[in-house]
Amino acid sequence: MADQITEEAFGEEAIRFLDANAPKQVERRRGWGEGSDRVGLFVERTPEEERAAVSESKAWRGKVFDAGFGWITGPARWGGRELPASYQRCWQALESRYDTPSQAIFGIGLGMIAPTIVAHGTDVVRDRYLRDLFAGRIVACQLFSEPVAGSDLAGLQTRAERDGDEWVVNGQKVWTSGAQYSDIGEIICRTDPDVPKHKGLTGFVLDMHAPGVEVRPLRQMTGGASFNEVFFTDVRIPDDHRLGDVNQGWGVALTTLMNERAAIGGGGVGVAIDLPRLLEVVARTGRGDDPVVRQLVADTWINANVARYTNLRAMERTQQGGIPGPEMSIGKLALGYNLLRVARLLSAVLGPELVADSGRWGTFAWSQLVLGISGFRVAGGTEEIMKNIIGERVLGLPKEPAGA
């Protein structure tokens, strides 16, 4: 049963916890040329830095969960408080005023995998993993894309063959964010190669520490390794870790993908366009009076804010209990286009300093962001896939002919 608590009393409870456990945010607006000028789409750390950050994030998440703020809207059975979405928004607004460890490592697990487990998992999987996911004791990753089947998820070839009460998995996944520190993963496998490709898939929850699982980092052109390829050699998964019915994995995958696009399009995985910093670059480089640059600034500003308001409307629906729908594909598509607008603006303002380090603060550092845009536009489904979804499900256009 949900706590009998008003939103005002809930807010007071949250403030008491935050005051006792975290320092207040201090406005640290550095002047031009002060501190690091790095800006990028992906957080790139050394293995040592990453281990320390993961440990710090888990510790804070556990403390928040134990205090009753880890899954505010969730079922009490798995540690939730069964409160309305407005209470979750209240908590987020209050927590943002305090200096707390980043929770980005939990974005995939809580935003994409947990909703799929709730919708399609067995009682064994729900009882074993949901509480631990929201308490920060485990981290989850998404094992969908393959070398020959990226956005064409139905074309995947990783096999799962039944062996009594277990499934034996062999194959490879690629572009897996966070696999290097994840404890479980949601994997979609081909379980029947003799039926149309959408109908022969099955979803599972897989132990990332199981024998036969190998994670290899992928070096990006940014210089970092935010993604991985994952190999599976005779990896065994209990049948009670299956998500949904056998050969019904396409519906399981769609549940995850809609939540993924909600997270990416709404900025839920830490993606944001820093408009004030962009304006400062324009001013500091003396290009603010150039009419072409001014037009690019206006175009970037307008479209970023239109996307933000569209996302807020869609997220409001989701937080009220609705299922993420095709509007999330709009958000994901818009963010990709807006990042391109940022790249064009930076190219016009910085010119050669964007690609050659002149040593001037706040210039070449933007190359990290620009180099990451291509990969980001593919993440969560290519723009062609997003356009198909929007055309068919929003505009009512005829469906694209299905393959075998």
The one catalytic residue among 95, 260, 327, 353: 260
385 closest CA partner among 232, 253, 269, 212: 253
Asked if 376 and 343 count as a contact pair (C-beta separation under 8 A), the reply is no
Q: How far is CA 323 from CA 4, 317, 319, 336, in A?
A: 26, 8, 9, 23
Round to the nearest angstrom and report the end-to-end CA distance of the chain.
48
Distance separating alpha carbons of residues 178 and 140, to the nearest angstrom? 8
- Positive or negative, the CA dihedral 253, 259, 264, 269 is negative
Active site residue 392: no
Tokens of 74: 């969730």
3-class state of residue 235 by DSSP: strand
Asked if 22 and 98 count as a contact pair (C-beta separation under 8 A), the reply is yes
Asked if 296 and 272 count as a contact pair (C-beta separation under 8 A), the reply is no
Place of tokens 């994952």: 230
Residue type, 95: E
Strand partners, 188: 203
190 closest CA partner among 232, 141, 129: 232
Tokens of 180: 């290097």
3-class state of residue 257 by DSSP: helix
Q: How far is CA 342 from CA 32, 80, 314, in A?
A: 20, 40, 24
Q: Which residues are catalytic?
A: 260
